[in-house]
Structure 1
Amino acid sequence: MGNQLLIKSVGIVALGLTLAHAEITINDIDKLVNDIKQERIGLTKQDIAKAKDPFIYLGGKYSRVLAGKSKKRHYRFTLTAIINDRVKLNRKWYSLNQTIHGYKISKVGKNYALLTRGNEKVRVYMRHKKSKNIKLFVK
């Protein structure tokens, strides 16, 4: 009981001190709003043109870094159905040994399709969600 009374009295004293130091008036608030409303003048176009590039590029300037590298394309494959040796990839049907974006469909498994391009191999799996995907295997 004594601890609760002590905590309450300390809280009341702290609240009183906070309110005593918070002497903001309407005039102070109006002054702050007017300061915010004032238009700020930034750099001129000449100053921006003279400004030094703030970024650090590994191996030299940005143009040299990009000049030597070619962009790789990344394809997203979505396998939605498998029927025997046919697969539905990205909303289109493909059979074994057909190509999609340069990848050859080299194997059709129980729940995946194996795509190959050169030495690169990509396995695309069926999604495991409650949907009406078709999985038919007749051999």
Structure 2
Amino acid sequence: MCVFLFLFFFFSGCNRELLVNVDFPGTDITSLYSPDADHCQQLCTDHPSCLFFTFIRADWTRDDRHFYCYLKNTASGQPNVRTQLLGVTSGFSLKPCSPEPQRCLSQVYQKLDFFGQDYRTLFTADYEECQRACTQDPACRFFTFVNENYALEKIR
């Protein structure tokens, strides 16, 4: 089964650096689910107001939040504060890197689902077909492919 997931989504130069264990606290525009910091950076780049972000990784231990991407904005275009914080990665929008073509994130993540973000379900033979269907749907940003090994029998 293939489940589509939907996400809603000045500068001084192009900054591609990802800052591991650095937080940009506050100034959140919104938060979205994201599988990794690269995807979070792309979400920030795609969002019209996002200038930088902080991503909560799988190794975060302070609470049960994982895979959250916090999109951020300030009038100055830079984070007000930078702090050291284990389990997060921060970075900047790639908007200033234009006219570079939009990146395609084709990474497939095993055993990862963003519960509750489903907007369409269909049956496909394999994850590659599910990925093609998602690619052809303008609203689809990522997908979950459920196979015969999925824990909930009624969803398999």
Same fold, judged at TM 0.5 (above): no
After TM superposition, the score normalised by the length of structure 2 is 0.19
Instruction: State the structure with more CA Rg.
Output: 1
After TM superposition, the score normalised by the length of structure 1 is 0.21
